[in-house]
């Protein structure tokens, strides 16, 4: 009986839910009425003068300078490249591998000179018999095969040294970038970092190793050519000194010009990447304020600046090619004139040319 009395004294849950729902409805209706009766506020037109933007920019500049978040300017080097840079690249290639590549390159060039000399001996022996001709042919074939094998070893070793160097340099630069503080990323534009990892590393990957191989091969080729010319045409020594001086002056003028142009080309590429990345990140804002034309004009201006440096570099390369062709023609003419006059041996002159 007591249990039934207690249960009958408890309120009905459905009645309680209806009362809560009625209370909520009444509260929301009162709130809606009060909100509708409240006077609406309208935003007044701004009466700020035109100088407010300037003051805002000054405040932003002062704030960025105070917190040290202003973007740093890209530093530009002047003058010759330090020798430490070359030593770092050679150290990245590996000292033993570099010495091995140098030895194989010298051996390959020496074998090429010996092959040409053997061919000149064969052409001098006009009355050689069949057995002697087979002897010349056999030796010439062996020298040619050995030259081909050394060429494959030299090129493969050079490419391996280049691959090792670019892998080490990339890992070192990436490790250094990941260990940089946050302030570095706040003060350095994204385009400058992208330029280092794209264009600069692309030059290291594609051009540096091949250019060093060609440089060493052409140096040895020029040295062997001058040596053979001096042996075949002794009076060529009198022309070798001024010709070498002219070559030195040409290469010095070209290197001084193209080095600065390469730096301008690299520096003018970073603003393009920065502008493009910033435009993509703020594309909605640019379209909202209708500033598409201004950003497009700025991008074209940066592209024109970069293209000017690129065109001047190509013009310098064409000038160097023409100058070297004229100097090479002068050397060939100085060697062929004695042969035409019958002063020197024609086979030796043909080998020197």
pLDDT digit string (tens) for 143-167?
999 999 999 999 999 999 999 999 9
Q: Are 269 and 195 in contact (CB under 8 A)?
A: yes
**Does 180 share its domain with 145?**
yes
**Better-predicted residue by pLDDT, 11 or 320:** 320
Region 24-35 average pLDDT: 43
353 pLDDT exceeds 80? no
**Quick check: is 38 in a domain?**
no
Instruction: Tabulate helix, strand, coil % of the chain (nearest 5).
Output: 85, 0, 15
pLDDT digit string (tens) for 86-137?
888 888 998 899 899 999 999 998 998 888 888 888 877 766 566 677 888 8
Collapsing DSSP to helix, strand or coil, 344 comes out as: coil
**Quick check: is 222 in a domain?**
yes
**Does 102 share its domain with 204?**
yes
**Quick check: is 267 in a domain?**
yes
Report the predicted TM-score, pTM, of the whole model to 2 decimal places: 0.62
**Does 88 share its domain with 179?**
yes
**Quick check: is 164 in a domain?**
yes
**Quick check: is 244 in a domain?**
yes
Collapsing DSSP to helix, strand or coil, 47 comes out as: coil
Integer Rg of the chain from CA: 39
Residues 259 and 251: their CA atoms lie apart, in Å, by: 12
**Quick check: is 281 in a domain?**
yes
pLDDT class of 179 with cuts at 50, 70, 90: very high
Q: 153 is in which domain, residue-wise?
A: 82-232
Last residue within a domain, chosen from 171, 204, 232: 232
Number of domains forming the structure of the chain: 2
Burial class for 313, CB neighbours closer than 10 Å (0-12, 13-18, 19+): middle
**Does 151 share its domain with 278?**
no
Q: Are 162 and 208 in contact (CB under 8 A)?
A: yes
pLDDT score recorded for residue 148? 92
**Does 273 share its domain with 200?**
no
**Quick check: is 203 in a domain?**
yes
Region 58-65 average pLDDT: 39
Buried b / exposed e along 224-237 (16+ C-beta atoms within 10 A): ebbebbeebbeebe
**Does 127 share its domain with 222?**
yes
Region 29-40 average pLDDT: 43
CA–centroid distance for 123 within its chain: 48
297 pLDDT exceeds 90? yes
**Quick check: is 341 in a domain?**
no
**Does 200 share its domain with 228?**
yes
Size of the chain in residues: 353
**Does 161 share its domain with 249?**
no
Q: Considering only 212-226, 233-247, 259-273, which range has the smallest mean pLDDT?
A: 233-247
68 pLDDT exceeds 50? no
**Does 228 share its domain with 86?**
yes
**Does 228 share its domain with 244?**
no
pLDDT class of 344 with cuts at 50, 70, 90: low
Last residue within a domain, chosen from 232, 256, 281: 232
Region 4-32 average pLDDT: 46
Task: Please provide the average confidence, as pLDDT, over all residues in the chain.
Answer: 76
| Backbone phi and psi for residue 128, each to the nearest 5 degrees, phi listed first | -70, 145
Closest-CA residue to 268 (of 306, 300, 310, 295): 306
**Does 174 share its domain with 238?**
no
**Does 99 share its domain with 220?**
yes
Last residue within a domain, chosen from 179, 202, 232: 232
Collapsing DSSP to helix, strand or coil, 54 comes out as: helix
């Amino acid at each position: 009986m007591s249990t039934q009395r207690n249960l009958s004294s408890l309120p009905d849950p459905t009645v309680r839910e209806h009362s809560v729902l009625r209370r909520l409805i009444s509260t929301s209706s009162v709130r809606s009425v009060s909100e509708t009766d409240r006077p609406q506020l309208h935003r007044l037109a701004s009466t700020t003068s035109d100088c407010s933007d300037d003051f805002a920019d000054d405040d932003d500049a002062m704030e960025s300078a105070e917190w040290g978040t202003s973007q740093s300017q890209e530093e530009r080097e002047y003058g010759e490249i330090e020798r430490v840079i070359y030593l770092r690249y050679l150290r990245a290639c590996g000292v033993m591998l570099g010495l091995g590549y140098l030895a194989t390159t010298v051996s390959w060039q020496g074998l090429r000179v010996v092959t040409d000399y053997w061919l000149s001996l064969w052409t001098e022996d006009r009355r050689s018999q069949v057995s002697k001709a087979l002897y010349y042919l056999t030796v010439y074939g062996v020298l040619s095969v050995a030259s081909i094998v050394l060429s494959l070893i030299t090129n493969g070793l050079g490419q391996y040294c280049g691959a090792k160097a670019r892998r080490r340099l990339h890992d070192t630069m990436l490790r250094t970038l990941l260990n940089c503080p946050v302030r570095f990323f706040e003060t350095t534009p994204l385009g400058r970092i992208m330029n280092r990892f794209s264009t600069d590393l692309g030059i290291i990957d594609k051009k540096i190793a091949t250019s060093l191989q060609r440089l060493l091969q052409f140096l040895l080729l020029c040295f062997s050519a001058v040596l053979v010319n001096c042996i075949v045409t002794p009076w060529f020594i009198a022309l070798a000194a001024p010709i070498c001086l002219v070559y030195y002056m040409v290469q010095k003028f070209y290197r001084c010009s193209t080095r600065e142009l390469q730096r301008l080309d690299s520096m003018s590429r970073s603003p393009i990447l920065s502008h493009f990345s910033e435009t993509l990140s703020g594309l909605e804002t640019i379209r909202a304020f209708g500033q598409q034309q201004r950003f497009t004009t700025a991008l074209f201006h940066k592209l024109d600046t970069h293209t000017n440096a690129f065109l001047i570099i190509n013009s310098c390369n064409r000038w160097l090619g023409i100058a070297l062709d004229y100097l090479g023609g002068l050397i060939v003419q100085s060697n062929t004139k004695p042969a035409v006059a019958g002063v020197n041996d024609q086979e030796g002159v043909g080998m020197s040319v």
